[in-house]
Amino acid sequence: MARTLDKEKRDPICPLCLRPIPEGVPQSQHHLIPKLKGGKGGPMILMHHICHREIHATLTEAELARSYHTPEALRAHPRLAKFAAWVAKRPPSFRSKIPGGMRKR
């Protein structure tokens, strides 16, 4: 049992849904400031791939650079907050298509 608890402590936590990201679960790095908006080489965060896709389905790169360049700001966005609450009820390995389609450009 102690071994299981130790492993859980080592799993990184997704900054959007706050679930652990175990090994083998689809994950990706998110540039807090998009590369095309000056964020190349800037801070990145590890997150579930499904959470990362939802961010980019919701916000434009300009919005990300201007107002949503911290995990706290991302969690405060109404659509992302709703998504995070929904996905938090699923196991960390949950995968699904992103509902609602891409944002309008």
* Residue range 13-69, pLDDT digits in tens: 999 999 999 998 999 999 999 988 887 888 999 999 999 999 999 999 999 999 999
Compute CA distances 8 → 3, 17, 70, whole Å: 9, 16, 25
pTM of the predicted model as reported, rounded to 2 decimal places: 0.80
Q: For 42-82, what is the HEC assignment?
A: CCEEEEEHHHHHHHHHHCCHHHHHHHCCCHHHHHHCHHHHH
pLDDT score for 89: 93
**Dist CA 36 CA 16 (whole Å):** 22
Q: Higher-confidence residue: 66 or 102?
A: 66
At 8 the pLDDT is 44
Q: What is the pLDDT of residue 58?
A: 95
